[in-house]
Amino acid sequence: MADLEPIERPDGRTYRPRKIVAWSWEDDTVHGWSAGAVVLGTHDVDRARVLADSSIKAWFGSELSAVEPEVGWYRLGYEYGEQIWAVDERRGRAGVWFTAKEVVEPG
C-alpha cells in the first residue's frame, strides 16, 4: 500500500495513519436496529466509501449500502463493560463513519 497522507488533528498535532481498515458496528435498541462500518486511517470519504460499501455488503447483506458518511476521530472504548465506539479528537484514529441502509433507486 502506498504511503498514506498525514492528517492534522483539531489540536494541531499530526496523525500518521499506517493502514486503512474497516470495522463493523451494530446498535440494537428498543428503537430499532442499525448497523454500518467505520473506516479508519483516512478522512477521504470517497476512498473510505469503497471499502465501507463492500464490507457492509459482506457483513450485513448485498441489498445494503454505505450511506451518511461522518468524518471524525474514532476509537474503541468501554462503557459499563460493553465495547463502544467513542468520538475522541485527542486519541482516536482518523475515520469515516457510515450507516448501512437499503438505497432505493428513483424511478
pLDDT by residue for the chain (107 residues), tens digit each?
458 899 999 999 999 999 999 999 998 776 778 999 999 999 999 999 999 999 999 999 889 999 999 999 999 999 899 889 999 999 999 999 999 999 776 66
Per DSSP bridges, beta strands 21-29 and 82-87 are unpaired
Nearest to 87 by CA among 48, 38, 28: 38
Cell numbers standing for residue 71 = 468524518
Cell numbers standing for residue 33 = 436496529
Q: How far apart are CA 99 and CA 37, in angstroms?
A: 7
Could you report the per-residue pLDDT of 28-41, keeping only the tens digit for each? 776 778 999 999 99
**What residues are paired with 101 via a beta bridge?**
65
pTM of the model: 0.89
Per DSSP bridges, beta strands 64-79 and 93-102 are antiparallel
